[in-house]
Chain A
Amino acid sequence: MSLAAADSRDRGGRAQPMLIARALKKYFPVRGGGFLTRSHLHAVDDVSFSLGKGETIGIVGESGCGKSTLARVVLNLIHRDAGELIFDGEAVGTSDGITLRDLRKSAQMVFQDSHASLNPRLSIEDTLAFGPMAHGAKRREAVARALHLLNLVGLDPRRYAVCYPHELSGGQRQRVNIARALSLEPRLVVMDEPVSALDKSVEAQVLNLLIDLRQRLSLTYLFISHDLNVVRFISDRVMVMYLGRVVEIGAADTIFRRAAHPYTQGLLASRLAMDPDKRIAAPPLSGDPPSPIDPAPGCRFAGRCPFVEEVCRVVTPELVRHGDKTGGKADHLAHSERAHSDMTHSVACHMADAASSHSRAGNA
């Protein structure tokens, strides 16, 4: 756990989660379907979690699982169709809640494509000064702050402040993106595959930087990646998504040692070892992730699951607390709103739910 010191910007104290998401939903209409009906891409479907102050949740999943849409919904960059978002005690996107302006100050994002996310016609200095100036800072203050930010992310301001994005390498551009995200002193930084496009030697530099900044600036991270090793390295908790739904959530250590959902197990077993003596003999999972357009009822993973039974194709499994033999629905939301951080291990699988009619129920 990264326990940051109390922050004067905290509203509800350390124990109040930085972010609470309840039953978030985002469907995109797509062409196709019948004459009068429309198909829908279920990008985010009934996703709930809470993110404690100073905590890092890693979100993993394959392409199309909705992790990037979730990031954008959380920051209100795209509007959710349903559900509730609460940022440090204030509702997001309602008239009596936090204003968009304040939310933008408090929560920022770093994108995967370091090139596309920078304006090619702004120098690095202007890029970094833009946000503070838009929020009322004088140009001189904003520039001074930009130079400070460059130092913070390990770029020499004397050399890089006057550069344009195309003059920098991918790693340097990603540092600028991180600096820009920090320019308004946010509490929460959402990162969508921030190191995926970088070479390995540069990836390590940026990961070191992110961990150092989290500590120094008491940041809370929502960290999205398809790279399980990176997620394990940076996260306190891990949330595994499959076709828009959360299939498993828990402490990083628990997920990586005792994954209960067959998808998480397959994902973990697909990791390559850097050792020719430990080659994988057979693929842990077959097939591709299916299309998120109008998914069939039941468990979304049923089509690829080695343990699939009749119930899996009919009933959508709910997220239940793992090891809870009573089969009750996880109260992990209620729980987490009390605790600083909620380490409950929850799984959405009929095998983990003793009350389901799966023959392996309760044994997973």
Chain B
Amino acid sequence: MAATQTLSRVDLPAAPLVDVENLNVTFRRDGRAIPVVRDLSFSLDAGKVLCIIGESGSGKSVTLRAVMRLLGKSARLDGRVNLAGHDMLALSERKLSELRGALVAMIFQEPMTAFDPVYTIGQQIGETLRRHNGMGGRAARARAKELLDLVQIPRAASRIDAYPHELSGGLRQRAMIALALSCRPALLLADEPTTALDATVQIQILLLLRSLQRELGMAMIFVTHDLSVAAEIADDVAVMYAGRFVETGPVTDLLHRPRHPYTVGMMASSVGDKPPGAHLDAIPGQPPDPESILPGCSFAQRCAQVSDACLAGLPPALWITPEHAARCIRAVPS
């Protein structure tokens, strides 16, 4: 469980750190309403890692941004997002910007978009420390150097004065993690932070995040399209399809005994260590357009076991174990 004493900035209640209820995110485009996240509910305890797995367009990144209220004006958010007792959807912009960084921070796939190219790494981390922690210039610089050490940037004392473009991809990702951790957030949101990295660097960053998360007792919501990344880092996994969680559970349970046909299909279609040239059991078709989702199970059109009951109404979440659920009428043998 979380080492809450390390989290000096925010008092944590005993309740779950993250509590999301009936979250709906709808984008307005050309006068039409496009539902992207639909009726999502989940909670996450302090110090735990939740991986949201989904393909492009599934709504996984939008969910992450909704938690931190980072979506633009074209997005309408309904439901409740509760972070450590704060109602994130009701907060004023001012209060929100106080909590961003201190309570919740985010890292992205492309660190160049998170950094300002005309300031050094040290200046940008220092600015955050001065703004949120009220540190003086010298103290902020010393702390920034500590943070660069924490994320294992070699020769941090000289790299602190580097501009973002002067760092390699892996170092830039580490610097972005240092920036996100600068105010010791209780929750780190990670949007595919390793997807653009080379294989030998990806594993370094995953292991760094895993160890930092444990040492700092920080909770993390990690969005990825890659099941094997989830296997490496998650406590719990949520598989997202067409705006909904279709299967949730502890990582071992879910990856060893997947019950939703979509999860099963994703695992079967992974090349993994299948014999060379063998036929892959690909899932036919493609995810539905969010504007034209039919009632019933959204995976029905691609599912080999579809029946009339699947199209009649949204399948309820059926519990396979007290922690593992799937939204499929066949999830539990009748």
Contact = CB atoms under 8 A, between A and B. Distances in A.
Interface string B166-180: 001111000000000
B279 interface: yes
A227 B276 CA distance: 14
Contact of B265 (A201, A286, A289): A201
A273 interface: yes
B252 A277 contact: yes
**Size band of the A side of the interface?**
35 or more
Interface string A5-23: 0000000000000000000
Contact of A267 (B199, B207, B251, B278): B199
A233 B282 CA distance: 14
B269 A201 contact: yes
B231 A279 contact: yes
B16 to A, nearest CB: 22
B280 A62 contact: no
B272 interface: yes
Interface centre among B270, B283, B286 (most CB of A within 10 A): B286
Given A270-B203, A282-B207, A288-B168, A234 B277 contact: yes
B271 A204 contact: yes
A274 B255 contact: yes
A201 B56 CA distance: 11
B92 to A, nearest CB: 38
A201 B283 contact: yes
Interface string B211-233: 00000000000000111110110
Contacts of A2: 277
Given A199-B287, A234-B276, A252-B276, 12 more contacts: A200-B55, A200-B227, A201-B282, A202-B282, A205-B283, A205-B284, A233-B274, A234-B277, A272-B206, A274-B228, A274-B255, A278-B231
Interface of B: 55-56, 154, 168-171, 198-204, 206-207, 225-229, 231-232, 234, 251-252, 255-256, 265-267, 269-274, 276-284, 286-287
29 contacts: A62-B201, A199-B55, A200-B225, A200-B226, A200-B270, A201-B283, A202-B55, A203-B271, A204-B282, A207-B280, A226-B199, A228-B199, A229-B273, A234-B276, A272-B226, A272-B228, A273-B228, A274-B270, A276-B234, A276-B251, A280-B203, A280-B232, A282-B207, A283-B204, A284-B203, A286-B204, A287-B170, A288-B171, A288-B201
